[in-house]
Amino acid sequence: QVQLAESGGGSVQAGGSLRLSCVASGHTYRSDCMGWFRQAPGKEREGVAHITKAGSTNYADSVKGRFTVSKDNAKNILYLQMDSLKPEDSGMYYCAADTASLVSCWSPRYTYGYWGQGTQVTVSS
């Protein structure tokens, strides 16, 4: 099992920044893939950013150039630096982790098995 705990959410005005953190504990060797997802009220959950254990990253088009995902492997902490925030970035943000598979971490066919409880991000205009 992998336990994930997010923090760093909050309320910010458009154009501002936030840094989310996700601490992984337990069987962290199973965290070959780690990702950030978000879900706004009434909308489906969407992938925001992913990172592999080797450090390869992938971003949703809507956040490219504004968000940066990174990972401290020694401390088992996943980060999401969010800059130039927009109201449409608002939602509950979740981190996720799981082992590698035959498809890439950001493939629609990849399934994350471990999830955190989420942290709320609210961006006002």
Average pLDDT for the chain = 94
pLDDT 10s digits, 27-37: 887 789 999 99
- 33 with 50: CB under 8 angstroms? yes
Spatial distance between the Cα atoms of 44 and 56, rounded to a whole number of angstroms: 25
Q: What percent of the chain has pLDDT over 70?
A: 100
Spatial distance between the Cα atoms of 83 and 85, rounded to a whole number of angstroms: 5
Length of the chain: 125
- 63 with 48: CB under 8 angstroms? yes
**DSSP string for residues in 83-118:** -S--GGG-EEEEEEEE---SS-TTSTT----EE---
Q: In the block, which residue shows the tokens 């099992």?
A: 1
pLDDT 10s digits, 45-104: 999 999 998 999 999 999 999 999 999 989 999 999 999 999 999 999 999 999 888 888
Two structure tokens written together for 29: 């060797």
The predicted pLDDT at position 78 comes to: 96
Q: Residue 13: helix, strand or coil by DSSP? A: strand
Beta-carbon contacts of 114 under 8 Å, excluding residues fewer than 6 positions away, are: 1, 2, 3, 4, 30, 31, 96, 97, 98
Q: What's the one-letter identity of residue 19?
A: R
